[in-house]
């Protein structure tokens, strides 16, 4: 059922530590299972996507976001005869490296690590599955297959790519040095990620009251489907039906984007006609929106940036989150015995700063909050109306 350009588990580039095949599962199904059973995956449930974890029970967390990305990715993969299991594995792992408090946490940690190699969540996701998970007697990390690791490393700076390349020549970072692409399954996860967060940030944004359906009238991708929904179901107009109108609009938006990606990518794949994954890796990106949808999606992103991600209430709490991360970083560096795992356990190649950064990055929002209170005597962001990006 797989296309010639799909990743075939039987032809995987393999794992860093050779392991006998599993009797009933393919290599990518095995990767997905390892991810689902990891500690980092369980922590996603208490990590901020946009809205703070304690804000309300219905907002997305990193976990529900990752599940939505997997759902969208799988349904597109099936239509394009790509490998669904690989898409699922990459989608479920793509945000494992995120710090507590969303991008505010990452920015603060990156500033703390400026002199020590910086901090970047994509690279951290790879670090989690390659090194930080401690589950196997024979090796650190989850020992995932090349294709899953390639998909997890979505972005990488040149400096980081050069460093990774030294420890793994011709490995997952090579494409950032040779301007190559990742597999179509990896490309698909990037698009599914975008489709998912654009849609759920509208939903969560309206739920929080930070944006309104009326404001969204300026976004064509949203408003066209809102009109279509009201035309078909006039009863959706008016406040009592507000949420149903929102859901119906988002549902139509999601479907339109999924079909658009399938159509535009099918055309691109027919034209380029790659015969293998390695050919795909040498071609320009083939998984894509059509040009009209690309523009509409971009307009929606711009709207969310101005009206949600840079909302004054968001910016106010972002400052507090950064303060907490910086303050935790300084506290652990000065008193490493305050960490649950000793700094003396680190390997020679890992600086004390990196151990602290790994420790903070692994925290859930609520653990970071409790630790900040314990170490600094200051309770921040608790019971506040707050959200982050």
Between helix 291-304 and helix 242-272 the angle, nearest 10°, is 140
How many Cβ atoms from other residues are within 10 Å of residue 370's Cβ? 14
Q: How far is the CB of 5 from Mg ion (least distance, A)?
A: 24
Instruction: Specify the residue, 95 or 150, whose C-beta has the smaller distance to Mg ion.
Output: 95
**Residue nearest Mg ion, CB atom distance:** 193
- Binding of residue 194 to Mg ion (CB under 5 A): no
Segment near Mg ion (CB under 5 A); pick from 95-103, 112-120, 301-309, 362-370: 95-103
Stretch that binds Mg ion, among 5-13, 89-97, 169-177, 308-316 (CB under 5 A): 89-97
Q: How far is CA 169 from CA 127, 131, 291, in A?
A: 17, 17, 36
Q: How far apart are the first and last CA of the chain?
A: 39
CA distance 225 to 241: 16
Angle between helices 291-304 and 220-232 (to 10 degrees): 100
Residue 15 has phi, psi (to 5 degrees) of -105, 160
Q: Tokens for 212?
A: 């309104």
Residue 156 DSSP code: -
User: Given the rule CB under 5 A, which of 115-123, 158-166, 192-200, 271-279 is the region that contacts Mg ion?
Assistant: 192-200
Q: Which two tokens stand for residue 108?
A: 């603060």
Which residue, 193 or 248, is less far from Mg ion as judged by CB? 193
Of the listed pieces 87-95, 111-119, 153-161, 204-212, which binds Mg ion according to CB under 5 A?
Answer: 87-95
Nearer to Mg ion, 47 or 226 (CB): 47
Give the Cα-Cα-Cα angle 6, 266, 276 (nearest 5 degrees): 30
Q: How far is the CB of 238 from Mg ion (least distance, A)?
A: 34
Q: Which stretch binds Mg ion (CB under 5 A): 149-157, 189-197, 239-247, 249-257?
A: 189-197
Which of the 8 DSSP states describes residue 205?
A: H
Should residue 201 be labelled a site residue for Mg ion when binding is judged by CB under 5 A?
A: no
Nearer to Mg ion, 196 or 236 (CB): 196
* Site map (CB under 5 A) of Mg ion, residues 257-296, x = contact: ----------------------------------------
Whichever of 90 and 245 has its CB closer to Mg ion, that residue is: 90
**Minimum Å distance from CB 91 to Mg ion?**
9
Question: How far apart are CB 197 and Mg ion at their closest, in Å?
Answer: 6
CB 212, CB 218: distance < 8 Å: no
Q: How many CB atoms lie within 10 A of CB 225?
A: 19
Which is nearer to Mg ion, 95 or 248 (by Cβ)? 95
What is the Cα–Cα distance from 261 to 35, expressed in whole angstroms?
Answer: 27
Instruction: Count residues binding Mg ion (CB under 5 A).
Output: 2
DSSP 255-323: HHHHHHHHHHHHHHHHHH---SHHHHHHSPP-----HHHHHHHHHHHHHHIIIIIT-HHHHHHHHHHHH
Q: Which residue pairs from 155-159 have beta carbons closer than 8 angstroms and sit at least 24 positions apart in sequence?
A: 155/120, 155/122, 156/120, 156/122, 156/123, 157/118, 157/120
Nearer to Mg ion, 216 or 389 (CB): 389
Min separation Cβ 193 and Mg ion, Å = 4
* Interface stretch with Mg ion, choices 4-12, 96-104, 193-201, 292-300 (CB under 5 A): 193-201
Q: Choose the stretch contacting Mg ion; rule: CB under 5 A; options: 19-27, 92-100, 278-286, 345-353.
A: 92-100
Q: Is 193 among the residues that bind Mg ion (CB under 5 A)?
A: yes
Of 337, 384, 342, 341, residue with least CA distance to 365: 384
CB of 95 to Mg ion, least distance (A): 5
Residue closer to Mg ion (CB basis): 189 or 386:
189
Task: Please state the closest distance from residue 69 (CB atom) to Mg ion, in A.
Answer: 6
As given in the structure block, the two tokens for residue 83 are 């490998």
Output the smallest distance, CB 198 to Mg ion, in A.
11
Q: Name the residues that contact Mg ion, by CB under 5 A.
A: 95, 193
């Amino acid at each position: 059922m797989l296309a010639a350009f799909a990743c075939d588990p039987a032809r995987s580039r393999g794992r860093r530590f050779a392991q006998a095949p599993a009797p009933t599962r393919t290599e990518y199904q095995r990767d997905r299972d390892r991810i689902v059973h990891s500690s980092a995956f369980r922590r996603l449930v208490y990590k901020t996507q946009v809205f703070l974890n304690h804000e309300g029970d219905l907002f997305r967390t990193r976990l529900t976001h990752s599940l939505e990305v997997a759902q969208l990715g799988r349904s597109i993969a099936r239509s394009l005869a790509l490998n669904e299991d690989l898409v699922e594995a990459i989608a479920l792992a793509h945000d494992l490296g995120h710090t507590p408090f969303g991008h505010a946490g990452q920015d603060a940690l990156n500033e703390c690590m400026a002199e020590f190699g910086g901090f970047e969540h994509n690279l951290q996701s790879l670090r989690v599955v390659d090194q930080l998970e401690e589950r196997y007697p024979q090796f650190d990390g989850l020992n995932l297959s090349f294709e899953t690791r390639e998909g997890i490393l979505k972005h990488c700076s040149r400096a980081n790519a050069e460093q990774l390349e030294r420890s793994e020549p011709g490995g997952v970072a090579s494409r950032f040095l040779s301007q190559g692409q990742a597999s179509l399954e990896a490309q698909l996860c990037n698009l599914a990620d975008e489709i998912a967060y654009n849609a759920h940030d509208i939903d969560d944004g309206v739920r929080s009251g930070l944006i309104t359906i009326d404001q969204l009238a300026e976004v064509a991708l949203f408003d066209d489907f809102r009109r279509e929904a009201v035309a078909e179901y006039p009863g959706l107009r008016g406040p009592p039906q507000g949420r149903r109108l929102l859901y119906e609009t988002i549902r139509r938006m999601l479907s339109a984007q999924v079909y658009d990606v399938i159509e535009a990518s099918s055309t691109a794949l027919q034209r380029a006609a790659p015969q293998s994954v390695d050919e795909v890796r040498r071609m320009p990106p083939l998984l894509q929106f059509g040009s009209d949808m690309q523009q509409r999606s971009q307009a929606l992103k711009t709207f969310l940036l101005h009206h949600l991600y840079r909302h004054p209430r968001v910016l106010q709490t972002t400052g507090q989150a950064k303060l907490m991360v910086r303050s935790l970083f300084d506290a652990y560096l000065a008193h490493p015995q305050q960490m649950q795992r000793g700094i003396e356990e680190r390997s020679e190649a890992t600086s004390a700063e990196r151990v602290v950064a790994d420790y903070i990055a692994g925290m859930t929002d609520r653990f970071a909050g409790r630790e900040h209170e314990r170490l600094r005597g200051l309770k921040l962001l608790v019971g506040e109306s707050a959200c982050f990006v």
